[in-house]
Amino acid sequence: MSNVRTCLSQKSNILHSVSPDDSVKDALQKMRDNRVRAILVIEGGELVGIVSQGDCAIKVLLPGKQAGDTLIRSVMTANPITVSEAHELDHCMAIMASRNIRHLPVARAGKVVGVISIGDIVKNIIEQQGDQIKFLETYIRGHGAS
């Protein structure tokens, strides 16, 4: 399986973020506009949290709060776990499964450089399986098996 660095190299390097003092409505609009399901929470250049569409739905909409009046700091996951670019994707998948999360910020020297999602990992697995199938087909044809 590939590592985080390889996975990030196949993605846009744009980081989408909000401040803890932004409203949930602001975060949801950024998620919608950038077609992402989670967004980093950055304060003073440091990662302080992450917030997902699910966080917004469960912690704001279900209780009947107003998205425009609710601050990100009240719904974000504070101090999220991060991974490095050297981590293998299967390690990341294990973290996501054990913690029931779908997004992991990626840090280099204490600074966030990207985010990987469970979708990114699944895409990588599918690509690898396709490559393995092509290799096996070529191997079988090359050895006269029919």
Which residue segments constitute the domains of the chain, with CATH numbers given? Answer: 4-142 (3.10.580.10)
Could you give the angle at the alpha carbon of 7 between the alpha carbons of 114 and 133, nearest 5°?
Answer: 165
Work out the pLDDT band at 128, boundaries 50, 70, 90: confident
Least confident of 9-23, 26-40, 106-120, 132-146: 132-146
Biggest alpha carbon–alpha carbon distance for the chain: 69
- Retrieve residue 137's tokens: 């087909």
Q: pLDDT, tens digit, for every residue of 82-124?
A: 999 999 999 999 999 999 999 999 999 989 999 999 999 988 8
User: What pLDDT does residue 1 have?
Assistant: 67
Over 80: is that where the pLDDT of 134 sits? no
**Closest CA relative to residue 40, chosen from 19, 21, 9, 12:** 19
Do 81 and 56 touch, CB atoms closer than 8 A? Answer: no
User: What pLDDT does residue 144 have?
Assistant: 56
